[in-house]
């Protein structure tokens, strides 16, 4: 099978998914004829665990063959932001993208409609675009990254119950609201701790430090820890394994990779029952918190009103309901540290299934 692909190969979410796609192609489809055009300044595989030299050569060979073999008459696959989805190498481009908000703009709708097909990992997003007249939308769920993440059979702390909060800091993810509510309830309680992997690589180091200081205010808390940016997936895997409860209260996600992987590693969770979280989180594998409604996403940092992209609202929640969710998650941890129903997600959302869905979209 011929696959023309335009993918970012870096350490952020888009790059992680792209690299996983290529690793499955290399592992499961030895006869694939891949022509690869990397998006970005360079190929960065530094974050990946246990890279095979043959796989790296597979990428190099695919990049070398792209301009030698590409044809406008063939289908092509592009994994990228909507705002870069209009540029394409072939007439029939399949765009795989992510969208977290509620109101597609005229520009976003036009870009989506000008692609042969558009794949979204969130059913909520699919419904949003279909309601706005896009009939080329397909749902393709993401998967568990077996190449970089695995269950670690080791004890990280004492008997305290550790909460994890992940994702780069921004209003959309409700980090500030979650942290302040958690500290009011559990701050300086030795039975609980909170690890925050919310370093934003788009900020300067001092900006991140200022964010962390503002979140705790003038009070010193010994049971909250702000972690630096973790480039290596192996280190991030350790972080996910070290927690007992992952907090997923983001107001809008295309999937929620840190939360999903944590639950799939057998961690308990407090999850907002909204947007893409609903595609994999349920009452059996997570403690669900119902949203209270929606609120504006604009923060004048990453989201600005009146622009051609990223407009609309995110889901919100009541702090009291979040704390009730934390209490229920604590009860689950006290009953068993291992979330057996969460581990089932590894097979329900496998890498093979993701790649098969993408390849089928190219036919």
Evaluate whether residue 172 is within a structural domain: yes
Residue 248 domain-assigned? yes
Say whether both 337 and 355 belong to one domain: no
Domain span holding position 262: 161-348
343 and 354 in a single domain? The answer is no
Number of domains in the chain: 2
Supply the pTM of this predicted model.
0.96
Give the integer Cα–Cα distance in Å for 250 and 276: 10
pLDDT of residue 50: 85
- Per-residue model confidence (pLDDT) at position 183: 98
Q: What secondary structure, in 3-state letters, does 142-180 show?
A: CCCCCCCCCCCCCCCCCCCEEEEEECCCCHHHCHHHHHH
Q: Is residue 150 part of a domain?
A: no
Q: Is 151 domain-assigned?
A: no
- Tell whether 295 is covered by a domain: yes
Please name which of 139, 166, 156 lies closest in space to residue 271, comparing C-alpha atoms: 166
| Residue 218 confidence (pLDDT) | 86
Q: What is the mean pLDDT of each run of 10 residues along the chain (363 residues)?
A: 95 94 96 95 89 94 95 95 96 97 98 98 98 97 97 91 97 98 98 97 93 93 96 96 98 97 98 98 98 97 96 98 98 98 98 97 92
Same domain, 101 and 58: yes
At 233, phi and psi to the nearest 5? Answer: -65, -30
219: CB partners within 8 A, 6+ apart: 183, 187
Are both 338 and 355 inside the same structural domain?
no
- Read off the pLDDT of residues 92-139 as tens digits, 9 standing for 90 and up: 999 999 999 999 999 999 999 999 999 999 999 999 999 999 999 999
Considering the domain architecture, whether residues 113 and 91 belong to the same structural domain is answered as yes
CATH of the domain at 211: 3.40.50.2000
Co-location of 183 and 141 in the same domain: no
Q: Could you tell me the CATH number of the domain that includes residue 102?
A: 3.40.50.11720
> 117 and 200: one domain?
no
User: Does one domain contain both 167 and 316?
Assistant: yes
* Long-range CB pairs of 126-134, under 8 A, 24+ apart, other chains included: 128/99, 128/102, 128/103, 128/104, 129/99, 129/104, 132/104, 133/109, 134/109
Residue 109 three-state SS: helix
How much is the pLDDT for 277? 98
**Pick from 312, 254, 308, 264: nearest CA to 286:** 264
Q: Do 182 and 208 share a domain, yes or no?
A: yes
Domain assignment of residue 196, yes or no = yes
List the structure tokens of 50: 């246990």
State whether 256 and 189 are in the same domain.
yes
One domain, residues 313 and 209: yes
């Amino acid at each position: 099978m011929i696959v023309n692909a335009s993918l970012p190969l870096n350490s952020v979410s888009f790059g992680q998914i792209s690299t996983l796609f290529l690793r499955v192609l290399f592992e499961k489809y030895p006869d694939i004829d891949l022509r690869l055009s990397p998006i970005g300044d360079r190929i960065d595989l530094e974050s990946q665990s246990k890279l095979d030299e043959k796989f790296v050569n597979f990428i190099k060979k695919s990049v070398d063959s792209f301009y030698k073999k590409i044809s406008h008459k063939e289908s092509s696959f592009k994994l990228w932001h909507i705002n870069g989805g209009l540029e394409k190498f072939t007439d029939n481009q399949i765009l795989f993208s992510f969208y977290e908000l509620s109101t597609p703009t005229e520009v976003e709708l036009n870009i989506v409609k000008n692609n042969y097909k558009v794949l979204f990992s969130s059913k909520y997003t699919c419904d949003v675009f279909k309601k706005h007249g896009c009939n080329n939308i397909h749902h393709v769920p993401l998967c568990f990254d077996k190449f970089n993440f695995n269950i670690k059979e080791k004890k990280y702390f004492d008997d305290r119950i550790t909460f994890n909060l992940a994702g780069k800091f921004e209003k959309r993810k409700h980090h500030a609201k979650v942290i302040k509510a958690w500290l009011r309830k559990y701050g300086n309680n030795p039975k609980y701790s909170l690890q925050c992997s919310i370093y934003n690589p788009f900020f300067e180091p001092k900006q991140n430090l200022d964010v962390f200081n503002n979140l705790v205010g003038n009070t010193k808390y010994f049971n909250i820890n702000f972690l630096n940016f973790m480039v290596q997936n192996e280190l991030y895997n350790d972080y996910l394994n070290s927690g007992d409860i992952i907090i997923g209260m983001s107001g809008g996600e295309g999937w929620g990779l840190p939360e999903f992987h944590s639950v799939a590693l057998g961690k308990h969770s407090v999850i907002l029952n909204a947007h893409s979280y609903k595609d994999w989180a349920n009452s059996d594998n997570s403690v669900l918190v119902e949203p209270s409604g929606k609120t504006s996403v604009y923060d004048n940092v990453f989201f600005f009103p009146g622009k051609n992209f990223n407009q609309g609202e995110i889901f919100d929640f009541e702090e009291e309901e979040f704390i009730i969710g934390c209490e229920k998650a604590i009860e689950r941890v006290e009953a068993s540290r291992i979330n057996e129903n969460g581990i089932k997600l590894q097979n329900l959302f496998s890498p093979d299934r993701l790649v098969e869905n993408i390849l089928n979209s190219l036919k």
